[in-house]
Amino acid sequence: MNRLRKRQFRFSAFYLLAALSALYIFQVLIATPQTRKVSYTDFIAEVRAGHLAEVNITSTELIGLLKEDAAKQKQARVISATRLPGIDESPLVKELEAQAVKLTGTIQVRPWWTEFLISWLLPLALLFAFYGYGMWRVGQGPGAALTFGKNRAKIYDESSKINVTFADVAGVDEAKAELVEIVDFLKNPQKYQKLGGRIPKGLLLVGPPGTGKTLLAKAVAGEASVPFFSISGSEFVELFVGMGAARMRDLFEQAKQKAPCIVFIDEIDAIGKARSSGRGMFFGHDEREQTLNQLLVEMDGFDSSKGVIIIAATNTPEVLDPALLRAGRFDRQVIVDRPDLKGREDILRVHAAKIKLAVGVDLHTIAARTPGMVGADLANIINEAALLAARRGADTVEQRELEEAIDRVMLGLEKNSRRMSPEEKQRVAYHEAGHTLVALSVEHADPVHRVSIIPRSIGALGHTLQLPTQERYLLTKPELEDRIAVMLGGRGAEDIVYDGVVSTGAADDLQRSSELARQMVTQYGMSAQLGNLTYGVPSNQRFLATPFADHSRNYSERTAEQIDEEVRRLVDRLYMRVKEILAKRQADLERIVQELVRKETLDRAELQRLVEAPIAATQEASLP
């Protein structure tokens, strides 16, 4: 029946449209007489010739009806001409009266209903149209006003089971050990409840970007086989104040209905920043603060014994509101730090299991070459290596693809199209040879793995790659000084070889060495003149300062001068040491440069054959 009605409606609408079209065509082409536009002069000429039977004068034009004999000659029944402004047409009227031409006039006034439509109904219709469109866009569909306060969390339950487990997460063993207790509570809550204990209401995953915080939260849900709510903190912040708080209430209501479950809020700092840091005349944010207040109230109002556990992640825990971190809300902070050497190797094995590796690939060496990298970086290296092998048509990924993938991620693509002149190539060779020779000469430098003068896409004209042999968590003053010396080796080699005529190639080296020297003086207390004090506000406390204050200065101008003098004295002393090393080993420097210009890339074995003196015993013993 409904289908028949739809067909009848379509049939009626089609014939109504056809009838209106036919009426319009009849009115325009048939009922309306043909009109020929003429000039004012031609119209006067037609009047004086006596060809007009009737004239209609409007406010803007003259319309004349031709006599039958004249219409046959002109092939038009009606002519019209635009009235000239400021012209007195009384003589024209008298002449028309003398010729007994019928005169009519039309005053063009809009009907009352046209004025009503244009003045009232049309603006109201446009207003309601914009309002309806805005409601549709905000609510993403009909009934938009009812969806403002609905949470937008992605819900994973039995119908969409999470296949991520702790076996898919590597390199964060300490964090996994803390989360095992959460999984055990979700599986066996009675074991804890019978002893009167309660599980923490909230866990805060803290760590640098890419360390696997979101993956860990999914692994907890996958291990426990419970519903998993996933939402970002920024999805609570809306244009209208109160919408974020309403979504927070709705999120917790749904979570209580699906308990036991996990609610995961990623990037919680988007709504959880310290309220004192944003207050002021121009820097307040009522929507974010109301959302944070609602989160605090909801975390106080639910019982963790019901099985609702809040897991949040952030890269900047220092900016979070203290009320959010107190006991009873986020009781426990789980540090998800950068992986160590063993952790990086485990992560590489997890990602390498998805590709075809050649026999003999050494992931331990790859892990040793990637200090400081997180899980996302290592996954990118494995993927880049697979792409390189596919581009070369290989069946498996070999060690050279992995090595090249590291270089591509850290240094950029090789710029084979960039051709340096022989003079520039030789200067770059001296620069990189200076870094290499100083690194081979000082005691505490990391062993040199490779030196190259092939330009890279990141702007480097060459690079000296050092390979750490172990994870370092503390650095002594001599070790830091040796690092600065290696950074200054390139500038020192140019200074000696070219008699003080230096280039811009050492800009990055000078910046990094200056920053490290300033940290030694101001942060590490390694200056005898300035003593065991720190100078400057730590970066994790600067957000508490007012926007117009100097964030980094907490010392006098006299102390600032002493800091500058001490940094300059430290760098100058190490630079003189570098020049002494290079002056004593200038023969080794020349051999390295000649071979670099010829081959463009040298590895450690080739460097060891080129230098006369053996490499430092400490470096030799620490080789992998």
26 pLDDT more than 70: no
218 pLDDT more than 60: yes
pLDDT of 53 reads 83
**Strand (E) positions, 34-134?**
35-37, 52-57, 61-66, 78-82, 102-105
pLDDT of 616 reads 43
Rounded to 10 deg, the angle between the 507-522 and 557-584 helix axes is 130
Mean pLDDT of the chain: 78
Of the residues 310, 335, 360, the one at which a domain ends: 335
Q: In this structure, are 430 and 575 located in the same domain?
A: yes
Q: Are 350 and 308 in contact (CB under 8 A)?
A: no
User: Which band of pLDDT confidence, cut at 50, 70 and 90, is reported for residue 418?
Assistant: low
Q: In this structure, are 608 and 466 located in the same domain?
A: yes
pLDDT of 539 reads 56
Interval 198-202 mean pLDDT: 76
DSSP 473: S
Closest CA to 376 of 230, 172, 166: 172
Of the residues 302, 335, 368, the one at which a domain ends: 335
In this structure, is residue 415 part of a structural domain? no
For residue 146, how far is the Cα from the chain centroid? 31
Q: In this structure, are 520 and 580 located in the same domain?
A: yes
Give the Cα separation of 579 and 405 in Å (integer).
35
In this structure, is residue 489 part of a structural domain? yes
564 pLDDT more than 90: yes
Give the Cα separation of 43 and 27 in Å (integer).
26
Number of other CB atoms surrounding residue 342 within 10 Å:
14
Q: In this structure, are 172 and 272 located in the same domain?
A: yes
Q: In this structure, are 223 and 241 located in the same domain?
A: yes
Question: DSSP of 305-361, one letter per residue?
Answer: GGSEEEEEEES-GGGB-HHHHSTTTEEEEEE-PPP-HHHHHHHHHHHHTTS-BPTT-
The boundaries of the domain holding residue 440 are 422-621
Single-letter residue type at 436: T
Give the Cα separation of 449 and 350 in Å (integer).
26
pLDDT of 466 reads 82
Structure tokens at 182: 């959460």
Q: Which residue has 């207050």 as its token pair?
A: 279
Q: In this structure, are 131 and 239 located in the same domain?
A: no
Radius of gyration from C-alpha coordinates of the chain: 41
Q: Look up the CATH number of the domain holding residue 215.
A: 3.40.50.300
Select the more confidently predicted residue: 247 or 160. 247
Residues belonging to the active site:
432
- Asked whether the CA dihedral 404, 405, 411, 413 is positive or negative, the reply is positive
For residue 48, how far is the Cα from the chain centroid? 80
Flag the least confident range among 140-154, 343-357, 421-435, 502-516.
Answer: 140-154
pLDDT cut 70: percent of the chain above it: 76
In this structure, is residue 252 part of a structural domain? yes
Residues 351-387 have pLDDT tens digits of: 888 888 888 888 888 888 888 888 888 989 999 899 9
Q: In this structure, are 573 and 446 located in the same domain?
A: yes
Of the residues 354, 381, 410, the one at which a domain ends: 410
Residues 169-187 have pLDDT tens digits of: 888 888 888 888 778 877 7
239 pLDDT more than 60: no
Residues 298-333 have pLDDT tens digits of: 887 666 656 778 888 898 888 888 888 887 788 888
> In three state form, how does the secondary structure of 380-409 look?
HHHHHHHHHHHHCCCCCECHHHHHHHHHHH
| Cβ contacts of 267 within 8 Å, gap of 6 or more | 232, 233, 234, 313, 314, 315
User: Which band of pLDDT confidence, cut at 50, 70 and 90, is reported for residue 546?
Assistant: very low
Interval 115-137 mean pLDDT: 68
Residues 66-86 have pLDDT tens digits of: 887 776 766 677 888 888 777
Residues 279-305 have pLDDT tens digits of: 444 444 567 788 888 888 888 766 665
Residue-wise burial string across 413-443, b where 16 or more C-beta atoms lie within 10 A, e elsewhere: eebeeeeeeeeebbbbbbbbbbbbbbbbbbe
pLDDT of 294 reads 82
Give the total number of structural domains in the chain: 6
Give the Cα separation of 417 and 441 in Å (integer).
34
571 pLDDT more than 80: yes
Residues 502-535 have pLDDT tens digits of: 888 888 899 999 999 999 999 999 988 888 988 8
DSSP 235: G
In this structure, is residue 416 part of a structural domain? no
In this structure, is residue 417 part of a structural domain? no
Closest CA to 148 of 31, 241, 51: 241
In this structure, is residue 207 part of a structural domain? yes
Q: Are 310 and 328 in contact (CB under 8 A)?
A: no
Residue 533, exposed/middle/buried by CB under 10 A (0-12, 13-18, 19+)?
exposed
Q: Look up the CATH number of the domain holding residue 500.
A: 1.20.58.760
Q: In this structure, are 500 and 604 located in the same domain?
A: yes
- Phi then psi for residue 299, to 5 deg, are -70, -25
pLDDT of 578 reads 94
Q: In this structure, are 87 and 99 located in the same domain?
A: yes
Give the Cα separation of 525 and 531 in Å (integer).
6
Q: In this structure, are 525 and 393 located in the same domain?
A: no
pLDDT of 405 reads 87
Give the chain's largest Cα–Cα span: 128
In this structure, is residue 248 part of a structural domain? yes
Give the Cα separation of 593 and 587 in Å (integer).
10
User: Which band of pLDDT confidence, cut at 50, 70 and 90, is reported for residue 18?
Assistant: low
Select the more confidently predicted residue: 152 or 352. 352
Q: In this structure, are 366 and 396 located in the same domain?
A: yes
Q: In this structure, are 554 and 601 located in the same domain?
A: yes
- Phi then psi for residue 308, to 5 deg, are -95, 115
SS3 149: coil
Number of other CB atoms surrounding residue 45 within 10 Å:
12
Interval 340-359 mean pLDDT: 88
